[in-house]
Amino acid sequence: MMSRQTASSLILPELVEVIRSALHGVVLTGAGISAESGIPTFRDAQTGLWAKYSPEELASPQAFRRNPKLVWEWYAWRRELVAQAKPNPGHLALAELERRMPRFTLITQNVDGLHQRAGSYNVVELHGNLNRVKCFEEGDIVTSWPPGPEVPPRCPRCGGHLRPDVVWFGETLPPQALRAAFEAAQRCDLFFAIGTSGLVQPAASLPYEALRRGMPVVEINPDETPLTQSATYALAGPAGQILPELLNRLNYKNYKE
């Protein structure tokens, strides 16, 4: 575990001032922000029951067509993990940052809803949400279906299979969320990329929208990513430690850790 002193030494006084004077902060998060809540990231090796599959083999329309039961059960397992997890100090610090900044947009690739549970308000979900279900055939959101043994359950309207309302490989992103994300990245005066490997488009190009306009980009990630070299500030450490320390340095202390 990183010491508080180490976390603090990564944060330059200049960065503290940049954050303090920002008018519109945009944050892009990926699976890494939820890692400290016990939710495995996509590029971590899977464990236990799921060790023999890669997420790419499970998170696609082809995979669902091939084996809808397997894919539904993987998501049921992830939903259960998320239900038992709690937002960590990183999520809570971002909710507090939103309360402190004049404008704030949190764009997430995560489908776990932990940002909202931490109190974040203006959240753009680029990849959907695990807790919503839609019809695989017609795409309509479905909120209830008759109980029964069949897995996955069937759409009460058309009888098609039900699936989670998340974006799978090979699918397009929800257009409204995508528009909101790019607009925010094109208007912000400060951008954070937190806990994302920066390998999946179009989310990976959002920080470059800010860089192109000369705006500061802060990366928080213990590992190097394709963005690290271009980032204005690269803070190499876990978000659950760096973000609370950042708030301390800003004297934003009234949030619960």
Cα gap 161→137, rounded to integer Å: 7
Q: Which residue is nearest to ligand OAD (CB)?
A: 32
Tell me whether residue 195 or residue 207 sits nearer to ligand OAD (CB atom).
195
Contacts with ligand OAD in 178-207 (CB under 6 A)?
Answer: 195-197, 199-200
Binding mask 1-40 for ligand OAD (x = CB under 6 A): -----------------------------xxx--xx----
With tokens 């949190």, the residue in question is 106
Tell me whether residue 2 or residue 189 sits nearer to ligand OAD (CB atom).
2
Q: Is 108 in the site for ligand OAD (CB under 6 A)?
A: no
Cα gap 114→93, rounded to integer Å: 12
Q: Is 21 helix (H, G, I), strand (E, B) or coil?
A: helix
Cα gap 194→63, rounded to integer Å: 29
Cα gap 38→71, rounded to integer Å: 21
- Token readout for 94 is 């971002």
Q: Is 215 in the site for ligand OAD (CB under 6 A)?
A: no
- Which one of residues 28, 133, 167, 234 is an interface residue with ligand OAD (CB under 6 A)? 167
Tell me whether residue 45 or residue 141 sits nearer to ligand OAD (CB atom).
45
Furthest C-alpha separation in the chain: 59
DSSP assignment of 176-211: HHHHHHHHHHHH-SEEEEES--S-STTGGGHHHHHH
Active site annotation includes 24? no
Q: Is 222 in the site for ligand OAD (CB under 6 A)?
A: yes
Q: Residues interacting with ligand OAD, by CB under 6 A?
A: 30-32, 35-36, 41-43, 55, 59, 109, 127, 167, 195-197, 199-200, 220-223, 225, 238-240
